[in-house]
Structure 1
Amino acid sequence: MARLVRRIGRRALAALLLGFLTHAAATPALAVPDAAPVVVLGVSGLTWSDVSTSATPGLWGLVGDSAVAAVSVRTVAVVGCAADGWLTLNTGVRTDAPRSEGGGCVAPAELMGQGTVSRWSDIGLLGRQSSYDPEFGLLAAGAARHGCASAVGPGAGLALADARGQVARYSPDLQTADLTACPLTVVDVPSSGLEAAIAKVRAAAPSAELVVVGLPNGSAPHLQALVVHGSGTGLLTANSTRHPGLVQLTDLTPTILNALGVSTPDRAVGSVLWTTPGAPHQAAQFDRAAQTIDRNVTAFYWLVGIGALVAGGLVIAFGRPRWLLLVSASLPVASFLANLLQWWRFSAASLVLWIGVIGWAVVVGTVARFGPWRRQRLGPAGFVAAVTAVVLAADVVTGSRLQLSSLWGLSPLDAGRFYGVGNVAFGAFAMSVLIACAWVASVAPRRRAVLSIAGIGLAAVLVDGWPSFGADFGGVLALIPGLALLAAAVAGVRVRARWVLIAGAAAIAAVVGLALADWSRGPGRRSHLGNFVQQVIDGTAGSTLHRKLDANVQSFAGRPWLAVLVALVVLLTAYVVIRPGRRATQLFETEPVLRSCVAACLVAAVVGLAANDSGVIVLGICCAVALPLLVDAMRDSATPALRRTRK
């Protein structure tokens, strides 16, 4: 067993170093901007399913000779309006526009006059209330440093309005516009006029770098199409997403400014796009995958919850079937492994997705139940936990390919994040790391057990928090106290108040160090950790903290039944740890590390609740992942583990 642990540790360390070197070497080589003008055509609701030889022959003709991507147009709300998208281009951060009295979208034409934004005071008020703290006029100010910029149509006027709501050069439509008057021209194009607009641009300014981008249109969220003609071919990518062929709307502002020779402003959260090899159909597949996950994710959550309750209840009541419980506990890791099948390439994508999830859960659960560790009390649960932790660690080190558009992973439609350890994945990762550490501690002598927990814990914290990997601010704050508690208990150290303070200080120091390291990489290359440091320097961090606190509170208010259920589970678990009954006491005496494992999981889950903006969802995920594994470990029908004399 010890040899197996060392082998796994060496391979995990090798993967960690390989991932670090890969990310360190992946510095984008940006083309030096030339004197060619830049023309941006914005079209509301232009998805890749709209692009074809019959419907859009002019755009289709550009695709093969352009760089392309699917673009996430999430603004402040998941469902955005066209005016939101134009204002997001204006500021370089997520920005929203006024809504109608009924809460619907207000068309850009209703906000734009002749060269002046008519409701600029309303827009400014929303900006001051926004936690994203937009700086209006950022795109216009940057373009002015290179000469001038022309806006054509009301949406383009919103994009190029300055800090006072004025547009220096404005034309109401493309027919009266001069596309060569300024280095930058932004055009608001109706979907029915896209082909004519492309033809006019190519005729009037054949050397221009042409950008065609889809914008939100107030309907169900989709990833939109992005085509950049004149700067190479392949797939567009950005540091903000780290997935070739997938970018964010906020990336366009620094990219446009870069094409004009203007460096990325600190207030812009996006990054400059660059081109990597790839085919256009790869960009189109991102939206297909995201839509499929969106249709199936609720059913998967119900499956995980009901499966854990039913299987756990049967094991508690009758001592069996353990296999079903372990298969249920393997569903979270199976949701990531299913993406290895690339199910989105199939015509029956949902069917292949479910086949992959159930198939992987059966494989992992079966190996856990009947593997050589089956007679160890923590063996089967520890195996499932170890597989989950290793899969997630390997995924974030190699680019988060398994998490993106997975049933327990990251949604490009919600656009909370595109890489690293998300709040849902954190619950699975943290609980799995702690249970896997407890498994190792249960089969190793005390000294080796403590060293193993320290080594695994250090690797887990680096994977979770390093900006190029997990980039998880709250996860580090939650992981370190849980690991410290488990290590102290295994070492036989009595946990006192000063140890709690030391663990908390270490977690804060680790987060600060990681954030500063990320900030030092400069604008456009930072993750949200480094961006937060810049916000602290600018004095705007308060709005971000307020937004995260508000999201945390709303997670309880919006799901009261979940909050009550999770609270009951947490209180019951805490009571079992603090004041175990007779049967629990006998179990803890049989396997002393088990009580410490439950306590460590509880601490990490509660701290994770406070440190992440998903609030009760994080705590619920931790419970859903940990409880089936702990129920299996605490089963009464299992062969008791032999007492070991620790040295």
Structure 2
Amino acid sequence: MRALDRFRRVRRASVPAGRRRTAAWVPYLMVALIAVAGLAGLSVRPAGDNNTGSADYVILAGSAGLRWDDLDPQRTPTLWQEATKGSIGWLSVRSAMRVTCPSDGWLTLGAGNYAAWPRRTTGSQCEPAAPALTRPDTIGANLTDQRSVVQNNQDQLPYGAVPGALAESVRCTYAFGPAAAMAAARPFGRVDKYEPSLPADPRALLTQCNLSIVDLGTIAGSGAQREQAVRAADAILARIVAARPERSLLMVAGVSDTERSSRLHVAIAEGEGWNGGWLTSAGTGRDGYLQLIDLAPTVLTALGKPAPEKLFAGRAATAVEGRPADVADAMLGVHNADQRSVAQRSVAEIFFTVLAGLQVLLFLLAVPVMVRARRHAGPRGPALPSARLVAVLELALIAAALAIPAALLADATPWWRYGHPAWVFGSVTGLFIVIGTALVRLAPRYHRTLWPMGAVAGIGALVVGLDLLTGAQLQLNGVAGYSAVSGGRYAGVGGVGLGVFVAGLLVLAGSLAQWITKQWRPVIVVLLGGIGVVVVGSPYMGADPVGAIAVTAGVCVAAAITTGGWLTVPRFAWAALAGLAVTISFAAVDLRRPAADQGIVGRLLTELGNGTAGPAMQRAATANGQALLDSPLTVLAVAGVLMLAFCQFSPWGGLNRLFGLHPALRAAGAGVTVATLIAGVLNGSALTVAGAAAAAAVPTAVLTTLRVLLHAADRTRPEGETYGPGGPGLREPASSTPVA
């Protein structure tokens, strides 16, 4: 070791001082470049399509429980005709409650924000929407409980919803049916004009107010009972179509669920400017998907009226081209997003629970092998683990790390259409795991110490990156992605994908950085990290500005310590300044946009400026708490931390030796930790991102640590001898695993 240290000092002394000073500035120069690249990627946003038409009247026909598989050209000819002529989409009916029952849906529709009606019972079925109404005159009605409902939404719920905000924004509303009155009532309970049901000929009534809200009835149950309810709804809609005035926009929506399970529902808009195409909004960012809270701003936009400030959470819908002409081809069969989302929720819970259990078991089995792998100084000690045992454990660790990327690839198959979707999905995922493990194992460089870690990381980053480049089709309603039913995300990168992508990108960068000269290692980290920032933050790909800012922070930290040493105050200061540069610059650009076009960063700063950020922070805290307790990924994150702590702080760990030999990997680990924790907390997903990163990176970290332990007693070659692929300080073993 003394000879090696003397050789390194002589080598450093031979480098001119000017060159050493120049090289020292390379990380900071590259960090500045990542800030510029991140800003460029985050600032560019797609041009919005605001051609939503104009209307003198809007008729909003709602039906609790109406789904696309209820529609049929023979059984529901009017609904089918309107869907064929108009723009269509899947409607997420998220409200302030986990499951949106009819009262919650109608109230949310009239609030333009996540609202809830007080629940009186619990069970598998939702209560029908039956509000208490009084008729002080023959014109309108009063919703008796409206004032208390508004107070409850303001004081008890974190969304700041004001039921009746839509009615307050138009001249008058006409409600047909008690459920419709819940959406048409003003905040103090007055329904301007009201009829208990739609008359046989409503022609004269539909022109009395510029907004008419009609209840088509509740669609519940199954079989003949459900078909009868759908036929009745179609008959009511037929009377509306026959009597609708000129220059009117007709909107049909399945406003809620009718059972204690969440589904996707019907959304149709038909009128001038809505002839064909997909429905979408800036709130979903995905063609063919709309939120219930988007309907209120869509009504006002169509009528040419401004949305009330600080009250609406939704965004006005638009119509985009690209929809198949046949409604069945667009919404049913292999494109039935509702059926897929139902299967996704149940299978995702099983998948991550099994994955967490298997990884915990694998870590427990790895501990005694690592204890035996450490060479003892005394004459007596436990025998080293057999080569066969180590080989099997390595393959198991590689397979565990590839589970989430394999699950993403499995979502490219129609597993959800089979009778036992969980078994089909598990079988396909297992097949991809076997293929990925074989590719890593059969590679010529497999016995290199860092190869399994770098290869698995590269596979994970490649799978997620290609998915984002092709529209994130694997993550939408995917087991390893996100469900449109939950209403959290509809496009871009989800929490699981972000964790795998960040871990894969930074670990790959750390592995590659070990192959080049120390002073240029930050270049590799920043180059790959900069690509990650742009991919995650671009509205065309990841569409997650908060995630991009978190990745920037992680990349800056990794770049600062990738050459070795600790995260000193100067290094931390440079990294923090670079992260702040991206955040502040993007925020400044975002704040210049109209409020309706702002991203999450701009909206948050706007809310902070006008004093309305409290509910948003409360929602984020609530979401973090719920995700922390409910998600199996929390178990994966905790298990990963405990296993890494064992590897670093126990006498049999070997992680400190690994980091000493490969400082770029320590930098990558620090960067992944910083990025995933920031992204999880700010996005309201707690340890979801960190858990996904741990599931993808910790198993191969354990594998690499085990390899280092097995070579801990290898002697150092004397100065002047040729080094093996392990590099300086490590002997190339004759018949075992190389260490580079």
Whether the TM-score (by the shorter chain) exceeds 0.5 is: yes
The residue number in structure 1 matching 2:511 is 439
The residue number in structure 2 matching 1:374 is 446
Mean Cα deviation higher: 626-635 or 102-111: 102-111
Name the aligned partner's letter for residue 487 of structure 2: A
2:521 alignment partner, one of 449, 464, 475? 449
Distance 2:635 2:417 in 1: 41
2:263 alignment partner, one of 219, 222, 229? 222
Deviation at 1:606, TM superposition (A): 4.3
Name the aligned partner's letter for residue 186 of structure 2: D
The residue number in structure 2 matching 1:194 is 233
- Compared CA separation, residues 642 and 34, structure 1 to 2 (3 A): same
Distance 1:21 1:543 in 2: 26
The residue number in structure 2 matching 1:499 is 571
1:354-365 equivalences under 5 Å are: 354-365=426-437
The residue number in structure 2 matching 1:121 is 147
2:189 alignment partner, one of 142, 153, 165? 165
What's the CA shift string for 1:314-357, capped at 9, x where partnerless?
66633122333323211211222233335557787666544543
The answer to whether the Cα contact below 8 Å between 1:467 and 1:527 also exists between their aligned partners in 2 is no
The residue number in structure 2 matching 1:278 is 323
The answer to whether the Cα contact below 8 Å between 1:265 and 1:523 also exists between their aligned partners in 2 is no
Deviation at 1:199, TM superposition (A): 1.7
Q: Report whether the alignment pairs 1:234 with 2:277.
A: yes
1:448-527 equivalences under 5 Å are: 448-472=520-544, 474-476=546-548, 478-492=550-564, 494-527=566-599
What's the CA shift string for 1:501-553, capped at 9, x where partnerless?
55345434533443443444324433433332332233111111112113323
Deviation at 1:412, TM superposition (A): 1.0
Name the aligned partner's letter for residue 233 of structure 1: G
- Compared CA separation, residues 209 and 345, structure 1 to 2 (3 A): farther
Larger radius of gyration: 2
Deviation at 1:604, TM superposition (A): 3.9
**Structure 2: which 5+ runs fail to align?**
1-33, 136-140, 219-228, 370-388, 715-724, 730-740
Name the aligned partner's letter for residue 618 of structure 2: H
- Compared CA separation, residues 24 and 551, structure 1 to 2 (3 A): closer
Deviation at 1:386, TM superposition (A): 1.8
Q: What is the SS of the residue equivalent to 1:635?
A: helix
Distance 2:74 2:121 in 1: 39
1:185 alignment partner, one of 195, 212, 226? 212
1:389 alignment partner, one of 436, 461, 473? 461
- Compared CA separation, residues 612 and 577, structure 1 to 2 (3 A): farther
The residue number in structure 2 matching 1:142 is 169
- Compared CA separation, residues 354 and 206, structure 1 to 2 (3 A): farther
Mean Cα deviation higher: 465-474 or 636-645: 636-645
Q: What is the SS of the residue equivalent to 2:593?
A: coil
Q: What is the SS of the residue equivalent to 2:63?
A: strand
Q: What is the SS of the residue equivalent to 2:250?
A: strand
- Compared CA separation, residues 505 and 423, structure 1 to 2 (3 A): farther
- Compared CA separation, residues 22 and 388, structure 1 to 2 (3 A): farther
Deviation at 1:39, TM superposition (A): 1.2
Distance 1:243 1:582 in 2: 46
1:64-463 equivalences under 5 Å are: 64-100=84-120, 107-114=128-135, 115-129=141-155, 130-144=157-171, 148-175=172-199, 178-191=205-218, 192=229, 193-205=232-244, 207=246, 208-219=248-259, 220-230=261-271, 231-267=274-310, 268-271=312-315, 272-279=317-324, 280=327, 281-284=329-332, 285-311=336-362, 317=369, 318-321=389-392, 322-341=394-413, 343=415, 353-463=425-535
- Compared CA separation, residues 226 and 371, structure 1 to 2 (3 A): same
The residue number in structure 1 matching 2:702 is 631
The answer to whether the Cα contact below 8 Å between 1:76 and 1:94 also exists between their aligned partners in 2 is yes
The residue number in structure 2 matching 1:5 is none
The answer to whether the Cα contact below 8 Å between 2:554 and 2:674 also exists between their aligned partners in 1 is yes
The answer to whether the Cα contact below 8 Å between 1:91 and 1:138 also exists between their aligned partners in 2 is yes
Give the TM-score taking structure 1 as reference length.
0.87
The residue number in structure 2 matching 1:530 is 602
Aligned residues: 625
**Structure 1: which 5+ runs fail to align?**
1-12
The residue number in structure 2 matching 1:53 is 73
Deviation at 1:571, TM superposition (A): 5.0
Q: What is the SS of the residue equivalent to 2:707?
A: coil
The answer to whether the Cα contact below 8 Å between 2:60 and 2:251 also exists between their aligned partners in 1 is yes
What's the CA shift string for 1:398-453, capped at 9, x where partnerless?
43222111111111111111123322222222222221111111222223321010
Name the aligned partner's letter for residue 111 of structure 2: T
Name the aligned partner's letter for residue 620 of structure 2: K
Distance 1:580 1:523 in 2: 57
- Compared CA separation, residues 266 and 633, structure 1 to 2 (3 A): farther
Distance 1:118 1:156 in 2: 14
Name the aligned partner's letter for residue 196 of structure 1: A
The answer to whether the Cα contact below 8 Å between 1:264 and 1:524 also exists between their aligned partners in 2 is no
The answer to whether the Cα contact below 8 Å between 1:251 and 1:273 also exists between their aligned partners in 2 is no
- Compared CA separation, residues 568 and 227, structure 1 to 2 (3 A): closer
The answer to whether the Cα contact below 8 Å between 2:146 and 2:187 also exists between their aligned partners in 1 is no
The answer to whether the Cα contact below 8 Å between 1:212 and 1:228 also exists between their aligned partners in 2 is yes
What's the CA shift string for 1:593-624, capped at 9, x where partnerless?
33443444444444455444222444433322
Distance 1:259 1:74 in 2: 23
Distance 1:311 1:578 in 2: 19
Deviation at 1:493, TM superposition (A): 5.0
Q: What is the SS of the residue equivalent to 2:359?
A: helix
The answer to whether the Cα contact below 8 Å between 2:113 and 2:314 also exists between their aligned partners in 1 is yes
Distance 1:520 1:111 in 2: 46
Distance 2:112 2:504 in 1: 38
Distance 2:656 2:169 in 1: 67
Q: What is the SS of the residue equivalent to 1:389?
A: helix
What's the CA shift string for 1:234-263, capped at 9, x where partnerless?
322222222222211112112111211224
The answer to whether the Cα contact below 8 Å between 2:289 and 2:490 also exists between their aligned partners in 1 is no
Distance 2:648 2:526 in 1: 23
- Compared CA separation, residues 571 and 329, structure 1 to 2 (3 A): closer
The answer to whether the Cα contact below 8 Å between 1:59 and 1:195 also exists between their aligned partners in 2 is yes
The answer to whether the Cα contact below 8 Å between 2:653 and 2:705 also exists between their aligned partners in 1 is no
- Compared CA separation, residues 235 and 20, structure 1 to 2 (3 A): farther
The residue number in structure 1 matching 2:732 is none
- Compared CA separation, residues 404 and 533, structure 1 to 2 (3 A): same
Question: Matched residues, percent identical?
Answer: 27
Distance 1:22 1:379 in 2: 37
- Compared CA separation, residues 232 and 523, structure 1 to 2 (3 A): farther
The answer to whether the Cα contact below 8 Å between 1:246 and 1:283 also exists between their aligned partners in 2 is no
The residue number in structure 2 matching 1:10 is none
Deviation at 1:388, TM superposition (A): 1.8
Distance 2:540 2:654 in 1: 46
1:591-606 equivalences under 5 Å are: 591-606=662-677
- Compared CA separation, residues 578 and 337, structure 1 to 2 (3 A): same
